[in-house]
Amino acid sequence: MKSKLLVASLIVLVLPSLFLVAGEKKNSAVTPEHRHIWWTVRNDAVNERVKQGNVDLLMIGDSIAHGWENTGKKYWDKYYEPRNAVNMGFSGDRTQHVLWRLDHGHLEGISPKLAVIMIGTNNSNGDDNTAEEIGEGIIAICNKIRAKCPKTKILILAIFPRGPESSEQREKNQKASLLASKIADGKMIHYLDINDKFLTKDGFLTRKIMPDYLHPNEEGYRIWAQAIESKVAELMGDKPKE
């Protein structure tokens, strides 16, 4: 009888713990994650550039940042190439992929003046991550940069508008951006929302700026570069470009 009571007692003690563990949802947005072959090749190429030194500016993000190399190249060459910039934008990336890259060579041996962050829209697809989780992912990236490059200032950009008009996903991205902005201290970490520059007065996003309602065309990159130029110059300690 005593043994039965002992077993019953153990079950009562263990079951709540099992339910607690099973009920916990791990935030994938803050868990560093590797991707696939072409991504590894690009990661290695960025690391080789970093090893050369002379890095003053980082553009960190997903395909929207990646696009500075093609659609936005004209304005990259004007605004960022002269500032010894390195494009750390990887198409398809989410916050967890950026975290992995920052742990695997991207920040090795450098101390840039500024890191600009544009990430999070890929985390917002469907039920993949909540706004809170995306915000935590962006904050984790900032903390990673601060730990590895303590002299580097950070400029978090609000996740760009997505879709032709207001939607659940666009609102999720807006909320995530605001949550991430809480880490900004106005000294080493700054936050800037330039989304209204891409929208009409009624809040619509047109194909004239983002043909697929997500990625800027050349005009979109011009708007982006000019909208952040005064802040970039301020944080890097140089003069704004005309």
Helices (H), the chain: 2-23, 37-51, 63-66, 73-79, 95-103, 131-148, 168-180, 218-236
In DSSP terms, 87 is beta-bridged to: 59
Query: Alpha-carbon distance 31 to 186, whole Å?
Result: 27
212 is catalytic: yes
166 is catalytic: no
Q: Given the residues 181, 196, 215, 238, select the one marked as catalytic.
A: 215
181 is catalytic: no
Query: Alpha-carbon distance 196 to 199, whole Å?
Result: 5
In DSSP terms, 156 is beta-bridged to: 117, 191
Strand 153-157 relative to strand 57-61: parallel, antiparallel, unpaired? unpaired
Q: Given the residues 63, 91, 104, 193, select the one marked as catalytic.
A: 63
CB-based contacts of 154, cutoff 8 Å, min separation 6: 114, 115, 116, 117, 142, 145, 146, 188, 189, 190
Residue 242, helix vs strand vs coil: coil
Instruction: State the catalytic residues.
Output: 63, 212, 215
